[in-house]
A and B are shown apart, each in its own frame.
Chain A
Amino acid sequence: MTAAKSDYRWPHKHLLGLEELSPEDIRFLLSTAYGFEQVSTRSVKKVPALRGKVVVNLFFEDSTRTRASFSLAASRLSADIFDFAATGSSVSKGESLRDTVRTIEAMGVDVIVCRHHLSGAAHQVAGSVNCSVINAGDGQHEHPTQGLLDIYTICRRLGLEGYDLSGVTVAIVGDVAHSRVARSNIHGLIKLGAHVVLVGPPTLLPQGFTELGCELSNDLDSVLPRVDVVNMLRVQFERIQSQAFPSVREYTHMFGLTTHRLTLAKPEVVVMHPGPLNRGIEIDSAVADGPNSAILSQVTNGLAIRMATLFLVTGAQGKGEG
């Protein structure tokens, strides 16, 4: 699980989505993260890789875990980091996204970590500035570091040293339509060779995803026995603008990962969830906290993934094509 071929060179100035990455890019990033994972186990949890660089957390949408994870990752790389809470700033006075990010960049910033509630925002930021941009989630589009940490967790759990997911079947269950986590997972998993089954009510499964090579199913019970990983998406009540299923009771009855339903799966199935959990809705507490759960590993692995991401995008600055 060490560095890939020596002639490989990370070509990207930004990380906006997994759709833009090649399988080699993803594998290189994952193996870089593996190297950084060791840093967190040392007594002095710091390396000087980004000393003198400035990272800004630019969050237009509330986030706790992603922002904290990026902050910790930056500080372990010895970068300077500051948070720019875009709510309650000049944005609320009517400033455009472009003006906001150009103003921030003018303060001497190397990396902007951007979270926004509208799809495409990270791309627009990247088009407005010269520094690197990392998408920390844009609307219903992508959340690339979450997708990467999910794939990394799967590889670590299943012991896949070459980050090759051929023969691995992953179910992504729930509100796929509104999920940026699902989109990043789908792109990354398929590029690494996995078979992806999207499971949920038909009102929350975009038919178009079959074109990406995904299988669609409305029947979780029939899918569970043949999957190696089941990734339970959060029901995003705040994003579902019109009612997409009749009731929480019916949703849980059909798509909740209950203790009983888990018995249908392989004994070693890996259970994942991007958080925060709606316990008792999409996942039972006993399952979320049980031996199959990789949910806390996902959080731990997120740190290494974000360190690798910061390290690679800054190293490529001015050289790559973006």
Chain B
Amino acid sequence: MSSLTIIRGRVIDPANKIDRVTDLVIEGGRVTSLGDKSRPRTDRVIDASGCIICPGLIDPHVHFREPGQEEKETIATGAAAAVAGGFTSVCCMPNTEPAIDDDGRVDFIYHQAARAKQANVFPVGAVTKARAGRELAEIGLMAASGAVAFSDDGVAVASAGTMAKALTYIAMTGKVLMQHCEDPELGGGVMNAGSLASRLGLAGWPRVAEEVIIQRDILLNLHQNIGARYHVQHVSSGGSVELVRRARQDLFGQAHVTAEVSPHHLLLTEDDCASYDTHFKVNPPLRSRRDIEELLAGVRDGTITVLATDHAPHTQEEKELEFAAAPFGMIGLECALPLYIKALIESETIDWPTMISMMTVNPARLCSLTGKGTLTPGAHADVTIIDPKEKWTIDANEFKSKSRNCPFHGWKATGRAITTIVSGDVKLLRDPDRLKDQTDAHDRSKPTQHQPSQIVAQSLHDSKI
């Protein structure tokens, strides 16, 4: 864990309202200096000319399938995919087999993440036992073991009585309840309900199934006077955006109702399902161009404050099933950044600092990740360096993820994470020429070492565990 200075980059740290070209110093796994002219000399220097230096990206919504479905993804491969995509921390959903619904399983996620030595992986605990929607899971014990949030993701907490109890109980922990908003009786279809679904002969999953849960939960929170923190996962419909917008102006204010949006809901529509390509089958389903516009409006006016991939790996065999039989979901960690750039920056919806805040400090606050999401001296040295101009082609076969179910395969992309640093360790370095070892340069009597390539080799080795 040597010291490192990142120079000449455009530092964007939204939590501190910093956006300027300056230097960042990392020592002992912490940020020790930001923009300080009298910075100390460090062992190594990374030249970030032309690049953005920002707090490590945080994805509050991934599925790493372990335990139980390791053929799709493991915590190690998922965490390696995160690093490859520029993410230093992810929060994994508890819909594993068995579900993460007690403190021992929370510990297991931390153990596997520590063994993988890639990105930080934080467990989200189940709201109800076995995610069955009936009895509360051991929320207090899971929180004590480090569960960062609670969700039954994959399904909603459908019963109003159970949800009211869960909001009340989780409020005690100070953690957020993340809701997969889908009424099981109104939802349950395989694509957006509408004329296309009717033509294709596929069961519809209408917007109202999402909106009715959001509205109900907001009312429960308000009228029970709970003030629990409530987060809408993967919002898909324009109507949902309006419900969240109004709730954020309401009694408890912005801290208590938040929402996230995923890349696919910003870029793809139900029309992509027309050829029965299961790569476009996702829950909640792809909607319409109109919904995309309303989601973008929600991002622009600050209704939606968090970006999340909903990285959902599935095997090729499963995705080769019939559309109605194939599983929901697509992977996103390794292509999310350029997709957000395309959807949000290139469309001039928001600027870079706002987008970075939605991928760093906002998810860090959402999941109570102290010391993360910012570059304040003293913060964890999780840093991402982004080349906003790099042109590349998304190739799912190159992914570190175990799965390949990515509908963006073959897309032309602009912008990429070129370096990912976790707790001061360089986990990803796409361009070794940018890294200089100052100890060598200073002492010419020593034989030349190829420190950078060794680091990359170590990183590659770790990713294969």
Q: Interface residues, chain A, CB within 8 Å of chain B?
A: 201-203, 207, 218, 242-247, 249-250, 253-254
Bound form: Cα–Cα A243–B144 in Å: 21
Of B61-69, B167-175, B185-193, B375-383, the one contacting chain A is B167-175
B172 touches A250 (CB 8 A): no
Q: Is B97 an interface residue (CB 8 A)?
A: no
B166 to chain A, nearest CB (A): 9
Judge whether B165 and A244 touch: CB under 8 Å.
Answer: yes
Binding site for A on B (CB under 8 A): 129, 135-141, 144, 161, 165, 168-169, 171-172, 225-226
Whether B138 lies near A201 (C-beta < 8 A) is no
B140 engages A203 (CB within 8 Å): no
Complex Cα gap A192–B56 (Å): 58
Given A242-B161, A246-B135, A246-B136, answer yes or no on A201-B141 (Cβ-Cβ < 8 Å): no
**Partner among B138, B139, B165, B226 whose Cβ is within 8 Å of the Cβ of A242:** B165
Listed residue (A201, A202, A249, A253) with the most chain B CB atoms within 10 angstroms of its CB: A202
* CA–CA, A244 and B136, complex, Å: 8
| A-chain residues with CB within 8 Å of residue B135 when the two chains form the complex | 243, 246
State whether A202 touches B140 (Cβ < 8 A). Answer: no
Q: Are B141 and A249 in contact (CB under 8 A)?
A: yes
Interface pair A253/B172, CB less than 8 Å apart? no
Q: Assess whether B168 is in contact with A250, with CB atoms less than 8 Å apart.
A: no
A237 smallest CB distance to B (angstroms): 14
Residues from chain B with a CB closer than 8 A to the CB of A245 are: 136, 169
A-B contact pairs, 15 of them (CB 8 A): A201-B140, A201-B172, A202-B171, A203-B169, A242-B161, A242-B165, A243-B135, A245-B136, A246-B135, A246-B137, A246-B140, A249-B138, A253-B141, A253-B144, A254-B140
Q: Which of A242, A243, A244, A253 contacts B140 (CB 8 A)?
A: A253
A210–chain B nearest beta-carbon distance, Å: 11
Residues of B within 8 A of A250 (CB): 138-141
| Shortest Cβ gap from A265 to chain B (Å) | 21
When distances are taken between beta carbons in the complex, the residues of chain A under 8 Å from B226 are 202
Tell which of B139, B144, B168 has the most Cβ of chain A within 10 Å: B168
B168's contact among A202, A246, A247, by CB below 8 Å, is which?
Answer: A202
Contacts of B171 in A (CB 8 A): 202
Contacts of A249 in B (CB 8 A): 138, 141
| A244 CB contacts on chain B under 8 angstroms | 165
Min CB–CB distance B100 → chain A (angstroms)? 14
Nearest Cβ distance between residue B12 and chain A, in whole angstroms? 38
Judge whether B138 and A218 touch: CB under 8 Å.
Answer: no
Q: Which residues of A contact B138 (CB under 8 A)?
A: 246-247, 249-250
Give every chain B residue within 8 A of A203 (Cβ-Cβ): 165, 168-169
Q: For the complex, what is the distance from the CA of A247 to the CA of B169, rounded to whole Å?
A: 13
Q: Assuming A202-B169, A202-B171, A203-B165, is B139 touching A246 (CB within 8 A)?
A: yes
